Structure 1
Amino acid sequence: MSLRDVVITGIGLASSLGEGADVHAQALGAGTAPNVDATSFAPYPVHPLKPLELDRQIPKKSDQRQMEPWQRIGVYTAGLALDDAGLKDDAEAKSVLQVIVAAGGGERDHAVDGAILTGLRGANAPGSYLNERLMGDLRPTLFLAQLSNLLAGNIAIVHGVTGASRTFMGEEQAGVDAIRTAHARIAAGQAEVMLVGGAYNAERRDMLLLLELGGYLRKGEFAPVFAREAAPGAITGSAGAFLVLEAADRAASRGAKIHAKLTHVGATRSRRQPGTVEAALRGLISGFGPIDSGALAVSAATGAAGITAEEASAIATLPQVKSVATGDLVGHAVEAAFPVSVALAAAAIANGQANEAIVTGAGHWRGEGAARLVKA
């Protein structure tokens, strides 16, 4: 069976740099200094979201209030992508538009978490104490309101998208598989147009705690992703990215502007022994065919020890490419990291900065992904 070409006709991006594909493409081309807050969550630096005019994409205040910050970021960038693709007011298109979301868990009650952690220090039976507090202090209704698939639901409600939706939950690989699945469904003729992406709020003490417990965060001042040997670790960033992927013939028939063609998306999971991340990424890239010597490499590398050096080594095997780390521009956005990187690559191609781009990403503790984009 021959597969159909898949193109990107809509890009929605928001981060610490601002919003829109052009803003991010210009920052990528100019090497704009990142926006980093090293004090609010010290000793952990973060890339804070540049304030958004939420009313532009989420008109109802009631909708804004019932969403958590990461959901607002996602719904907002989904709206940007629909606007960019010329589909925001196309009811017929939105009736068949399928949505795939990469999302993490709901945001937690910091006061409850803080009280539990404080009490654990003096508990005679920490296990029993923890179980009792979790059963008694957490509000079930609040937890149910934080289900990750509410992002897809809010996109449907706010933007009037009534096609099928799917949610991939958890870490960087959710973003990889969201893009991979959307691409595969269109290429195989199982869908005509899809809205795919993710969102992440880095300005959360609960997520900083979880990542720090695993030893994944950088402390102190900002340093470029591939120059953190002395103090490795991720610097997270609040960001959202959604893409409208479309069958090339459908896009052509409606005269849509095509930013780039998405030719390949691959995912794998190595055993995370020394050398396996590099081998996994090189294996994915080798399946893409010959790479142009002037290609752009966009890396969603985390900055975490070991795997970041291996990702750099995999990129170094590409023929004379220019490389950029997404984390140097907007920080690491976990579930949204790969969608943000693909969106950056598409924006760079659309703005004439490259004719081809390779996107790579190794999750902070599991999962690897790669994609190839070319000028349409």
Structure 2
Amino acid sequence: MSGPARREVVVTGIGLVSCAGEGIDAHLAALGTGRPARTDTATFAPYTVHPVAPLALDGQIPKKSDQRQMEPWQRLGVYAAGLALDSAGVKDDSTFKGALHLVVACGGGERDTAVDGAILTGLRDAPDPGAYLNERLLNDLRPTLFLAQLSNLLAGNIAIVHGVTGASRTFMGEEPCGVDALRIAAARIASGQVEAMLVGGSYSAERPDVMVVHELGGYLRRADHSPVFSRSGDGEGGFILGSAAAFLVLEAEEAAAARGATALARLSSVASDRPRRVPGSVGASLSALWRDAGVTRPDAVISGATGVATITAEEGAALSDLAPGAPVTALGDVSGHSLEVTGPFGTALATALVARGQAREVAVTVVGHRRGEGVIRVSAA
């Protein structure tokens, strides 16, 4: 007995925020510039960061009290989610939002670096370091610290601010979690489990704690911006972090048509894998996922390449074989590298290209800086 037919999944709304600004126009304009619009080389020197453009938060987060209780990464995500709901024409549709399911891809919250620094300084001269540490952890950490670090607070704030009250899920795990968030959301719609999903993520790069974490792994570039795919040859491979957020409203095609919504593009397929990293594995994984996703001759490729030398060189070589002649744009040359947001951001940007008639089919690739690969196919609806 055959199972139910797979439903087509379409994108009806997108919200984008980065150093390029906000919305479709700003980000399509950034595609042609060859470098991110905003670069900060001083705050975290010798590391560069691409800070988010100034936002009028009141436009998507009306209450000042809501703005104050969120950390920057949460404000970015809630803002982009509001843009996506606006784009889909459902911002004021409480019935639609009440049934709208949510999938968020993001990392943890932000450290209180002033408290961390004070504890580490005092620990040096403490006669009993263990007792000192316990006392400081009990007395110096604000009561909301651990609550503020929960990644699913972004989903909670989207529910509070925008009234999205369907079931929610939060995915963590660097770049691959953004791909899996899209894959799970699309699969649930395609199988008939739900009619619509809001999916995306946010990342704040302007944080000393994340700089420390990635520098300890040797992943950061110690220089100003240069094109991502050229970094493997200039001796300064690595990524430049960028603050960004991206959300998409996904719907079953017939459900979108029934409510009179415009399908911006079709999310045709999402394929992901996490093989063990050995020389050549990135190219082999991308080739297999390319076939699984059904990509043939894309008009354009949007790559989440990190700039980390070896894997970026492998990805570049693979794309030359898989998509000969197709222009390849690295997200790092548009918005910087934003880890969990990479998959949703690339998909939203691909949707914008299709919606504006600049492409009929776009392939999005995601290669995690430590593990995980993904290929997403976006096509005209």
Q: Is the alpha carbon distance of 1:296 and 1:132 closer, same or farther for their aligned partners in structure 2, counting shifts above 3 Å?
A: farther
The residue aligned with 1:223 is: 226
Q: How far 1:275 moved relative to its partner? A: 0.9
Q: Distance in 2 between matches of 1:133 and 1:369?
A: 43
In structure 2, the residue corresponding to 1:250 is in which secondary structure?
Answer: helix
Q: Distance in 2 between matches of 1:305 and 1:118?
A: 36
Q: Is the alpha carbon distance of 1:112 and 1:170 closer, same or farther for their aligned partners in structure 2, counting shifts above 3 Å?
A: farther
TM-score, length-scaled by structure 1: 0.94
Greater displacement, 151-160 / 18-27: 18-27
Q: How many residues align?
A: 375
Which residue, out of 314, 317, 320, partners 1:316? Answer: 320
In structure 1, the residue corresponding to 2:282 is in which secondary structure?
Answer: helix
Cα deviation digits, residues 279-318 of structure 1 (max 9, x gap): 11111111123512x5210001111121111121221122
Greater displacement, 107-116 / 332-341: 107-116
Q: Distance in 1 between matches of 2:288 and 2:129?
A: 45
Structure 1 residue 206 corresponds to structure 2 residue 234: no
Cα deviation digits, residues 215-246 of structure 1 (max 9, x gap): 00001211111111220011000000000000
Q: How far 1:326 moved relative to its partner? A: 0.5
Q: How far 1:170 moved relative to its partner? A: 2.9
Cα deviation digits, residues 337-375 of structure 1 (max 9, x gap): 111111111111111221100001111111111100111
Tell whether the 8 Å contact from 2:12 to 2:248 is kept in structure 1 after alignment: yes
Which aligned segments of 4 or more residues in structure 1 are displaced greater than 3 angstroms? 29-34, 115-141
Structure 1 residue 18 corresponds to structure 2 residue 21: yes
Structure 1 residue 39 corresponds to structure 2 residue 36: no
Q: Distance in 2 between matches of 1:282 and 1:14?
A: 31
Structure 1 residue 75 corresponds to structure 2 residue 78: yes
Q: How far 1:40 moved relative to its partner? A: 1.4
The residue aligned with 1:279 is: 284
The residue aligned with 1:62 is: 65
The residue aligned with 2:271 is: 266
Alignment RMSD (CA, Å)? 2.0
Q: How far 1:106 moved relative to its partner? A: 0.9
Q: Which amino acid aligns with 2:330?
A: A
The residue aligned with 1:238 is: 243
The residue aligned with 2:378 is: 373
Q: Is the alpha carbon distance of 1:124 and 1:272 closer, same or farther for their aligned partners in structure 2, counting shifts above 3 Å?
A: farther
Q: Distance in 2 between matches of 1:246 and 1:183?
A: 8
Over the matched positions of the two proteins, sequence identity in percent amounts to: 61
Tell whether the 8 Å contact from 2:34 to 2:333 is kept in structure 1 after alignment: no
Q: Which amino acid aligns with 1:273?
A: V
In structure 2, the residue corresponding to 1:228 is in which secondary structure?
Answer: helix
Tell whether the 8 Å contact from 1:175 to 1:337 is kept in structure 2 after alignment: yes
Tell whether the 8 Å contact from 2:104 to 2:170 is kept in structure 1 after alignment: yes
Cα deviation digits, residues 100-128 of structure 1 (max 9, x gap): 00111110011122234556778899999
The residue aligned with 1:165 is: 168
TM-score, length-scaled by structure 2: 0.93
Q: Where do 1:127-138 residues align within 5 Å?
A: 137-138=140-141
Tell whether the 8 Å contact from 1:25 to 1:351 is kept in structure 2 after alignment: no
Greater displacement, 10-19 / 314-323: 314-323
Q: Distance in 1 between matches of 2:207 and 2:199?
A: 24
Q: Is the alpha carbon distance of 1:307 and 1:134 closer, same or farther for their aligned partners in structure 2, counting shifts above 3 Å?
A: farther
Structure 1 residue 299 corresponds to structure 2 residue 310: no
The residue aligned with 1:338 is: 343
Structure 1 residue 105 corresponds to structure 2 residue 108: yes
The residue aligned with 1:350 is: 355
Q: Which runs of 5 or more residues in structure 1 are unaligned?
A: none
Greater displacement, 252-261 / 200-209: 252-261
